[in-house]
Amino acid sequence: MSEADEVQLRHVDLGRPAARSEATEGRGEARTEATARTEATARTEAIEERTGAAEGRTEERTEERTGAEEGRTEERTGATLERTGAAEGRTEERTGATVERTGAAEGRTEERTGATLERTGAAEGRTEERTGAAEGRTEERTGATLERTGAAEGRTEERTGAGAAARSIPSPDQFKLRRFFVLRPGTLNQAIKDVEALVDEKVDGSVHGIWLMAEVDHWNNEKERLVLITDNSLLVCKYDFVMFTCDQVQRVALNFVDRISHGAFSFPRRSLLQRGGEGVRVFWDRLREPSFTSRWNPFATDFPFITFTSHPVWNASDTFAQLCDVKNFREQLWDAAQKVHAVKPVPGKANGVLVLNQQIQIEAYVGLMSFLGNQNKLGYCMARGNIGF
């Protein structure tokens, strides 16, 4: 054989193992791929089994939890319904109680309204009675005034006729009386209207009478006053007959008046003062005595009593004689005070007014100021020559 044939044989021999190796490697790769596929399939099935088991357990757990939650939800719903029912029951009970209370309140309101209407009717009735009584008294006063006016006119005509026959010269006392401004025509009527306007009907009531008096203080000084007696009060007015103004009003509740004394005036044993005529003293606090300072203070006004006497013009005419009548004033004051004590008693005070006929003591000794004042009538509104009042 030649070298070329040997070389070809070698190539053939060398090519066979290579082909075998390639086939073997191909079969190995196929087997490897099959094995890998088998393992992957097995793993996938295992994973699917595990996944199914997990899903089953998850479903079981989910169903169990869902059932438990539904049970708890149903229990809670039942408890909520029970609470709602109890709350509705309590609400109904409260509503019923509220309705009952509302009905009771409406009943009490109707009762109070009825009582208020009754009281209003009674008050209106009393107001009408008082109005009628006041109108009756006003008519009586008007009639009495007209009678007095007619009598005064008759007396004036008589005096005028007598004066035409034989004129008489007025006495010095009559000239002195003319100096009082209260005697000027129309002055007294205007003063009465002014002080009546100061009466408070809610506090004082209607007016029973008006008097022209002279107040005597604790130092024996005389002061001109208009005094009113009403249903409930005693009003003492300081009136200026020159300027037609009321400068001061002292109000004393009649249910506090406990004593009225009347009689002649008296002074201490060594006093230099004297006073004629009679007076009346009204007390409203028997338990309180004037202090030492008040007794020696000529301007003190805190005394629990007040003293009156007749005005100097009491004898000017019959009209002024009635206005200055101390006895009539005392009787009407006692009567009005007794009525108020019966209607409005004061707790802690004895009901009723005690009337005493005794001397009226004035604790003044020298009294120089009162002597000068009373002699010159400084407590009255008078014409005083060229100087005037």
SS3 265: strand
Per-residue pLDDT, 51: 74
**Beta-sheet pairing, 259-266 with 222-230:** unpaired
Indicate the residue type of 345.
Answer: P
**Beta-sheet pairing, 259-266 with 354-357:** parallel
Per-residue pLDDT, 41: 79
Per-residue pLDDT, 227: 97
Nearest residue to 261 via CA among 218, 307, 325, 226: 307
Per-residue pLDDT, 165: 38
Per-residue pLDDT, 55: 73
Per-residue pLDDT, 300: 85
How big, in percent rounded to 5, are the helix, strand and coil portions of the chain? 55, 15, 25
Q: Encoding tokens for residue 6? A: 């040997």
Per-residue pLDDT, 370: 84
Per-residue pLDDT, 7: 53
User: pTM (2 decimals)?
Assistant: 0.56
CA distance 246 to 202: 21
Per-residue pLDDT, 33: 73
CA distance 294 to 30: 147
**Regions of the chain with pLDDT less than 50:** 12, 160-169, 388-389
